[in-house]
Structure formats: structure tokens, C-alpha cells
Amino acid sequence: MLDFDWSVIWKSREVLWDGMVLSLKLFGIALAGGIFFGTLLALARLSSWKILSYPAAGFVNLIRAIPFIMAIFWFYFLTPMLVSKFTGQQGEAVGPFTSAIVAFILVEAAYYSEIIRAGIQSIPRGQPWAAYALGMNYWQAMGFVVLPQAFRNMVPIMLTQAIILFQDTSLVYVVGLKDFLGAASKGGQITGRIVELYLFVALVFFIICFGASWLVKRIQARYSIAR
């Protein structure tokens, strides 16, 4: 344990940096896509039209009931099979990064839809009715009155879910992507000093997630005072 060679971190800096860039890229795309489609799912679940609410509820409940890693496997292995069945083309239909992006967006959309749905339901019913009285339609009332207030209520828990998303980016190693953790594993195999690199990755994750958690607490405290 005392025979650590910390210089291996500097020697593997390029590999680690490429892995971090991939992790951040995956995180950013999944976060934006998850919030966007999660908002649409939340509105569909709250819709009085059963043709929208039932499929949305079924999708959300299905995705939230399975392990995250299984969703990644689904889109990596099953999507090429489905594409080849319907198009007749053989071979890999999507790459590992594309399949991981699709899996992350859909899973995050399911989780964010529940957060957003709860945020919308926390707004007093008098708010949309007041918007209707001013001549707004449903989508205008949602876009200009309800959602801005709901997102303000949801900011702390949405940031908490974002922290979880950043941690989950390490799961893409199962499809062969060299994210930050995968890059550390690759660097460890090259240098033979995998313990030092894994400890460094753990430290980086701790600093980022702890700092983000501290920020969430500050936002929660500020919001509670504002209310």
C-alpha cells in the first residue's frame, strides 16, 4: 500500500482527459435530452387524453422498474437486431456511443418526468385557471405560467438527479466505451498501476459530486428563505 507511484496519473493524463471529455459529453447530452423529453412525458401523463397518459405512464413505469445497466444492454444488443429485421441490413446498426446516448436519454426522461410531474402538481390549480381567464390556451398556460414556477420548485431535486446521472456515466464501460473510469482501467492495463488510477478517479468523482451536493444544499436553503 505504501508503494504507490502517483506519477502514473501524469503519464496517463491524455487517456484520462479523453475519458473525462467523453463522460462530460454523455452527461450533457443525456441531461438536456432527459429534461426535454421528461417534460413532454410529464405533460402527457397529466393529460386528460388516455391515448397520451396511458402509454406515457406505461413507459415511465417500465423504465424505472429495470436496472440502468439493463437498459444500456437493451439498446446496444437489441436495436441492431430490430433494425436488421425491419430493413434487412446485417451488421451493427448503431455504435456503442449512440446506443448509450439513447439509453441514457430515455432512462433520464423517465426519471425527470416524475420530478417534473410532481413539480407541476405542486402549483396551485388557481394559477392555470387564472391564465385561462386571461385568454391563454393550455400550452400557453403551461409554458408561461405553470412550468416556470414548477421548474423553480424542482431545481434542487433536478440537480440531485443530475449528480446521479454523472455518476451513472461510468456504466458505459459495459459496451466498451472509454469513459473516465474506462480510461483509468485502460491506463492501468498499460502501466500496470491500476490502483493509483482508480483512486484518482474516485477522488475526482468525490470532488465533483460533493461540490455539486453542496451547491444543491445552498440552493435549497436560498429557496426556502425566498419562500
* Digitized pLDDT (tens) for each residue of the chain, 227 residues in all: 457 777 888 888 888 999 999 999 999 999 999 999 999 999 899 888 889 899 999 999 999 998 888 888 888 877 767 666 766 655 555 678 888 898 999 999 999 999 999 888 888 888 888 888 888 887 888 888 888 888 888 888 888 999 999 999 999 888 888 889 888 888 887 777 888 888 999 999 999 999 999 988 887 777 654 45
Domains in the chain with CATH codes: 7-226 (1.10.3720.10)
Rg (CA), the chain: 21
What per-residue confidence (pLDDT) applies to 175? 83
What per-residue confidence (pLDDT) applies to 126? 86
What per-residue confidence (pLDDT) applies to 123? 86
What per-residue confidence (pLDDT) applies to 225? 46
What per-residue confidence (pLDDT) applies to 5? 76
Buried b (16+ CB within 10 A) or exposed e, 26-49: bbeebbebbbebbbebbbbbbeee
Q: Are the CB atoms for 154 and 162 separated by under 8 Å?
A: no
User: How many angstroms from the chain centroid is the CA of residue 91?
Assistant: 29
Q: Are the CB atoms for 37 and 84 separated by under 8 Å?
A: no
Q: Which cell goes with 164?
A: 446521479
What per-residue confidence (pLDDT) applies to 90? 54
Q: What are phi and psi of 192, to 5 degrees?
A: 75, 15
Q: Which cell goes with 57?
A: 405512464
User: How many angstroms from the chain centroid is the CA of residue 174?
Assistant: 17
What per-residue confidence (pLDDT) applies to 88? 60
